[in-house]
Amino acid sequence: MSIKLKTPAEIEKMRIAGKLAAEVLEMIEPYVKPGISTGELDKICYEHIVNVQKAIPANIGYHGFKHTSCISINDVVCHGIPSFDKKLKDGDILNIDVTVIKDGYHGDTSKMYIAGKPTVAGEKLCQVTQESLYEAIKIIKPGLRLREIGKTIQKYVDKFGFSSVREYCGHGIGEVYHDEPQVLHYDADDGGVILKPGMTFTIEPMVNTGDWRTRTMKDGWTVKTKDHGLSAQYEHTILVTDNGVEVLTLRSNENFPRVIEH
């Protein structure tokens, strides 16, 4: 497995791309309300990335995908296809996942939103999923085994009776959208990968209220929970630093440190 370590110049480009991706998720938040379509939300994201940020939406054309964002509602785990026919309802939970390319480098991030008044179950799932991501980021430093990330997420999620999806994972990122290593969100063999300064990758736990198993719809993209339970996901692109971690896609309204030193 060849894992590319980023140079200081590449890291600076990653910071810029990450900041732009985070900005898209901040920008779209006021629009997430009952009655708006996921197609409209996607269009707003596209126009912001292209016209305001002068950047490239990485998802358009990726393996034939036609949209700027993946928008996954309720029991959709990931890769939900935006549609002007799909309107949000009160209490819906949804993940908006965007990747921005700027100067050849990718910034990849996602977060959960709740349309209107949240349900108790939906709000709790979103909270635990975000916390599981934070718990994993907190431990990152050079010398750590990669599998400790998944182990930390699984242990945290299990405490609440939820489950961590196993069929999808985080990934290395930089000039290449999906690169080595694969970052699993449960405790499993990592091929002996040890974290080193200059590694950049995503951590993106997908957490279900019920069973972790999923099913893919006939469109070839949309992934749903097998048992029809709710699913949530949060994602950040991170950099392993000389003595800890930097969150490259941190949003300005997050109560979490951008840099953690050990």
Residue ranges of the annotated binding site are 79, 97, 108, 171, 178, 204, 235
- What is the length of the chain? 262
Cβ atoms of residues 95 and 112 within 8 Å: yes
- Biggest alpha carbon distance in the chain? 48
Cβ-based burial of 104 (10 A; exposed 0-12, middle 13-18, buried ≥19)? exposed
Cβ atoms of residues 6 and 198 within 8 Å: yes
| Cα 61 to Cα 83: distance, rounded to the nearest angstrom | 17
Question: What's the token pair of residue 234?
Answer: 């949060």
Helices (H), 48-182: 120-138, 147-158
How does DSSP classify residue 114?
Answer: E
Question: What's the token pair of residue 97?
Answer: 């996942």
Binding residues for a divalent metal cation: 97, 108, 171, 204, 235
Q: What angle do CA 198, 103, 176 make, to 5 degrees?
A: 55
Question: What's the token pair of residue 12?
Answer: 């600076």
Cβ atoms of residues 14 and 237 within 8 Å: yes
Q: Dihedral sign, CA of 201, 223, 119, 26?
A: positive
Cβ-based burial of 257 (10 A; exposed 0-12, middle 13-18, buried ≥19)? middle
| Cα 95 to Cα 168: distance, rounded to the nearest angstrom | 15
